[in-house]
Structure formats: structure tokens, C-alpha cells
């Protein structure tokens, strides 16, 4: 794997099931340093706090629909700062409508994945993000 | 109340369910013959229920509709499906796997939504809920028709219910 296995990844989803599936898939791909958050509202301070240490998050995988802070709001929040302007951000959504892709791209998403997806598709999306 | 669009409406859900189970549960679904469900008792022990509402535009006429997707699993099937999705072995229903059914219906509805959009249906998804216990009651919207589709897969049997009603 070209990417380092210990890249620090934050998986954000309000459904525990989905967090576990994504973690399993990332593990299958070869990643080992994965933490979880259950909402954009809990994920944001984790990203901000980690940035003050010598181990900042290097990759965010976030669901779109979450009750408190959506993935889109989180993305917009991050992109509005210099610090997180280029933080790789993969958005996951259950809704396959074309309009969603446009909204996410405009907000600065690194890539986009529609549920259901396989570990292979996840790997391809990650490769695209980091091999640009 | 007209349910003439029911058959057209239900097809995307079956296709989406096949896609979700093949990709995330690693099993193929074999849908059986659809039948009209006459009572509100669940067919399985764990049911994931997801509401949908919107407007259907046909022949220059707009009508509001309400719909519901239910996936009902016997415990045995639910544990196996959850196990396949999460790569673990489960011997009893517990909190850890409670939202598995909700996530499945969420993905099915999300996928079906795109197809429905192309057919003239706008749709707003609700948040899935889980009902658990032997022979529980499912509350369908008033005056709606419920179609029950028995499904077989390598993990056992399960039931998809699609409920649809247009407002006059």
C-alpha cells in the first residue's frame, strides 16, 4: 500500500453499525489508526484538538445525514479555516441523488461515496483522493 | 384514495434491497410472490420501519403520498445478517446490533429514492425505527395498502413490506 498504514483516520457516523462496517473495511484495506465519532458535533472538536498535538487527523470519513451537525456542515466548517482547508474528506451518503454530489463538491469535498459500497470501492475512492 | 401507482412504486425498493444485500451482506435475495397483507402483526421478530412522504407528479397532476418500508426478520436471520455485515458472530439480539436493520432500510430507501425521483416522485425520508419482540404490531398509515414480499437468502427468510397511499 502506497499510503502509510498508520495514517490517522476519523470515522464519523451516527449509526454504530455503519461506523463498524467502515472501520472493518478500512482495516481490510490495511489502515490501523482509526478513531470514531458519533456526530459532526462530536467529531469537530476531536479534529480541532488533535490538530494542536503532533498527531493531527489526516483523513476524515463522514456520513452526510447526522442529527446534530451534518457531514456537510462539518465539511463547510472545516473548509472555512486555513488549517483544514485541504484536510482530505470523504463523504458517505445513503441518498444517490445527483444534486447531492454537486452540493458536496461545491463545499469542497475530496470525494463522495454512495451506500451501499464494498471495501474495494472505498479503497478506489481513497486512492483517488491521495493520488491526485 | 388511489393506489394505482403502487406496483410501479414498489419495484425500486426490491431492486435496491437486492443491491444492498449483495454489497453489504454478501448474499443474494430471492424475492417470493408479493401478497396483500391484511393485518398489522409483524412477520418477523425484529422489524425496521422507515417512513417516506412526498409528491407524485403524473400526467400534469400532483398528489401527496405517504409510504412506509418495513423489513421484518426472524431473530435467526437478523443475527446472521448482522454477523455478515459486521463480520462478527452474534447469538442473541442486543444493543450492538439494534441499528443494523435501520441502516439496511436507510440504504434501501436512499437507493430507491433516486429511481423514484426519475419516475416523478419527490420524497422525504424519516429516521428508521426498530421494533423488537415476537409478533409485534406495526402501525401503518391509515387507509394504506400493504404489500408483503417474502424473501429468501442464504441467511434465512425475511419479509419486506411496502405500504403506499395517495391522498385525494
Q: Does A15 touch chain B (CB under 8 A)?
A: yes
Q: Is the pLDDT of residue A1 over 70?
A: no
Mean pLDDT of A110-128: 95
Residue A99 pLDDT > 80:
no
| Least trusted range by pLDDT, from A44-53, A77-86, B74-83, B123-132 | B123-132
Burial bucket for residue B55 (CB in 10 Å: 0-12, 13-18, 19+): middle
Let me know: does B155 contact B81? Beta carbons within 8 Å.
yes
Q: Please state the ipTM of this predicted complex.
A: 0.86
For residue B168, give how far its alpha carbon lies from the nearest alpha carbon of chain A (Å): 28
Distant-in-sequence, close-in-space partners of B158: CB < 8 Å, separation ≥ 6: B44, B71, B72, B73, B74, B77, B81, B150, B151
Query: What's the mean pLDDT in B51-55?
Result: 94
Question: Phi and psi of B130, rounded to 5°?
Answer: -115, 130
Global pTM reads 0.91
User: What does the pLDDT read at residue B5?
Assistant: 75
CB distance from A114 to chain B under 8 Å?
yes
pLDDT at B124 > cutoff 80: yes
Of B23, B102, B109, nearest to A15 by CB-CB distance is B102
Arithmetic mean of pLDDT, B4-16 = 86
Q: Residues B6-166: name the CATH superfamily.
A: CheC-like (3.40.1550.10)
The domains of chain B are located at 6-166
Q: What is the DSSP letter of B24?
A: I
Q: In this predicted structure, what is the pLDDT of residue B1?
A: 41
List the one residue out of A23, A29, A25 whose CA is nearest residue A3. Answer: A29
C-alpha cell at A117: 459500497
Give the residue from B4, B123, B104, B51 showing the smallest Cα distance to A94: B104
Query: What pLDDT shows up at residue B12?
Result: 94
The span from the CA of B94 to the CA of B98, in Å, is 6
> Topology of domain A9-130, per CATH?
Rossmann fold (3.40.50)
What average pLDDT does range A3-10 have in this prediction?
A: 94
Query: Could you say which residues from 85 to 104 on chain A have a Cβ atom under 8 Å away from some Cβ of chain B?
Result: 93-97
Q: What is the pLDDT of residue B3?
A: 57
Euclidean distance between CA atoms B40 and B63, whole angstroms: 26
Q: What is the DSSP string of A32-94?
A: --EEEESSHHHHHHHHHHHHTSSS---EEEEES--SSS-HHHHHHHHHTSSTTTT--EEEEES
Amino acid at each position: 500500500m502506497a499510503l502509510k498504514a498508520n495514517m490517522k483516520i476519523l470515522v464519523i457516523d451516527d449509526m454504530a453499525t455503519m461506523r463498524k462496517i467502515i472501520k472493518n473495511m478500512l482495516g481490510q484495506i490495511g489502515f490501523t489508526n482509526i478513531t470514531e465519532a458519533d456526530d459532526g458535533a462530536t467529531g469537530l472538536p476531536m479534529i480541532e484538538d488533535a490538530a494542536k498535538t503532533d498527531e493531527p487527523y489526516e483523513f476524515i470519513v463522514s456520513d452526510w445525514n447526522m442529527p446534530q451537525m451534518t457531514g456537510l456542515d462539518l465539511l463547510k466548517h472545516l473548509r472555512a479555516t486555513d488549517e483544514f482547508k485541504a484536510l482530505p474528506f470523504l463523504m458517505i451518503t445513503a441518498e444517490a441523488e445527483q444534486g447531492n454530489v454537486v452540493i458536496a463538491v461545491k463545499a469542497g469535498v475530496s470525494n463522495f461515496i454512495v451506500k451501499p459500497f464494498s471495501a474495494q470501492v472505498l479503497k478506489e475512492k481513497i486512492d483517488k483522493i491521495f493520488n491526485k | 384514495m388511489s393506489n394505482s401507482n403502487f406496483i410501479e412504486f414498489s419495484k425500486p425498493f426490491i431492486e435496491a434491497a437486492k443491491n444492498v444485500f449483495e454489497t453489504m451482506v454478501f448474499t443474494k435475495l430471492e424475492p417470493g410472490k408479493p401478497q396483500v397483507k391484511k393485518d398489522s402483526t409483524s412477520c418477523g421478530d425484529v422489524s425496521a420501519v422507515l417512513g417516506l412522504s412526498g409528491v407524485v407528479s403524473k400526467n400534469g397532476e400532483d398528489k401527496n403520498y405517504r409510504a412506509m418500508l418495513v423489513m421484518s426478520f426472524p431473530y435467526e436471520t437478523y443475527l446472521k445478517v448482522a454477523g455478515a455485515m459486521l463480520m462478527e458472530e452474534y447469538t442473541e439480539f442486543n444493543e450492538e446490533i439494534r441499528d443494523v436493520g435501520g441502516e439496511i432500510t436507510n440504504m434501501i430507501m436512499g437507493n430507491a429514492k433516486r429511481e423514484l425521483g426519475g419516475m416523478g416522485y419527490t420524497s422525504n425520508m424519516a429516521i428508521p425505527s426498530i421494533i423488537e419482540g415476537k409478533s409485534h404490531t406495526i402501525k401503518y398509515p391509515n387507509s394504506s395498502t400493504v404489500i408483503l414480499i417474502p424473501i429468501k437468502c442464504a441467511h434465512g427468510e425475511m419479509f419486506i413490506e411496502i405500504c403506499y397511499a395517495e391522498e385525494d
